[in-house]
Amino acid sequence: MEEYKKTEKNSAAKKRQAISDSSSKTDWSFLENTYRDRKVLITGGLGFIGSNLAIALCGMGAEVIIVDSLIEDYGGNLFNIEPVKDKLKVNIADVRDESSMNYLVKKMDYIFNLAGQVSHIDSMKDPYTDLDINCRSQLSLLESCKKYNKDVVIVYAGTRQQYGKPDYLPVDEKHPVHPTDVNGINMMAGEWYHILYNNVYGIRSVSLRLTNTYGPRLLLKHNRQGFFGWFIRQIIEGETISIFGDGMQKRDFNFVEDAVRAFLIAGANKSSYGNFYNLGGTERISLVELVELMLRIYGSGSYKIVPFPPERKIIDIGDFYADYAKIESELKWSPEISLEKGLEYTFDYYKKYKDNYF
């Protein structure tokens, strides 16, 4: 494990150097001063984005507590926090449990709320569970804060899926929301619970509408939480990738450390409270172009074009890429890790640690 920590430290140093070589607008000293010695709760903290966020916050000297239910197939993985397991606390609990949340929110300075069910397919097969996890859990958290910690700051993880099939591109925050699946509707409701409690009860909250996020610690066990992780796994295992439709659907992407930086910035800036912001990428490419780039970086692999399965076709949104001008203008965030560089980091990670994810 010492070798693991050394390798991860070197990898982090390479990524920081890549960022410093870019025209970064991030005031890291401000962020470090904001979170140092602060009590931070991360719901869903053993998952993909939550664990990367926990690692970043531990590096800033925050007192981090993770709450995660470790529900099978939802992405929670204790290996995700291996580099900082001795620097934080983990509470295995369900955010829907009011008694647990009443206790956990007390004395917290910040809550990064990433707990949720994110599979669009699962939400259509089992809409009641999606409703329970993505709506009831948000109300449980907010009610606990209303009763026991109204001074906390909450950053909620929303999704581009709230918009549904775009009426125009790129999609900005003024675009109508008309989700194509149950998950999008419930995530939209979860976001607006946070905005409502901000406006009515003064519980400072902000939502980030995430686009396709990728990178180390992404779930690779199955393909129900998106195509990106599954493509990574298929390439490493030497399987032929199946691209649905004609493969010309365009997407944008964020490397996970860019997404983590957005969470940190949003929580630290008072002007963000009561608002919601799109994240987005500078590179907008088709799925075929994405796969060809992945295969080139990895050095081998193949793909084929196949028809959409019916259950996926009815919720497909076609082309989607976001306009992130609002968060760039107001909070000075923009993506800094290129897709090619991010893919290199991602493949390097899973080549080393695939046994903990496959």
Residue 223 domain-assigned (yes or no): no
pLDDT of residue 222: 65
Residue 313 falls inside a structural domain: no
pLDDT digits (tens, 9 = 90+) for 345-357: 999 999 999 999 9
Q: What is the pLDDT of residues 232-262, one digit of tens each?
A: 999 999 999 999 999 999 999 999 999 999 9
Binned at pLDDT 50, 70 and 90, residue 309 comes out as confident
**19 domain residue, yes or no:** yes
The bridge status of strand 250-255 relative to strand 284-286 is antiparallel
Q: Which residues of 59-91 are buried (b: 16+ CB within 10 A; e: fewer)?
A: ebebbbbbbbbeeeebbbbeebbbbbbebbebe
Question: For residue 80, which of 351, 341, 349 has the smallest C-alpha distance?
Answer: 349
- Number of folded domains that form the chain: 1
182 domain residue, yes or no: yes
Q: What percent of the chain has pLDDT over 70?
A: 92
Q: What is the pTM of this model?
A: 0.92
Domain of residue 168, CATH code: 3.40.50.720
| Four-CA torsion 193, 195, 198, 199, nearest 10 degrees | -110
- Residue 97 belongs to what domain range? 2-218+253-282+321-337
Whether 200 is covered by a domain: the verdict is yes
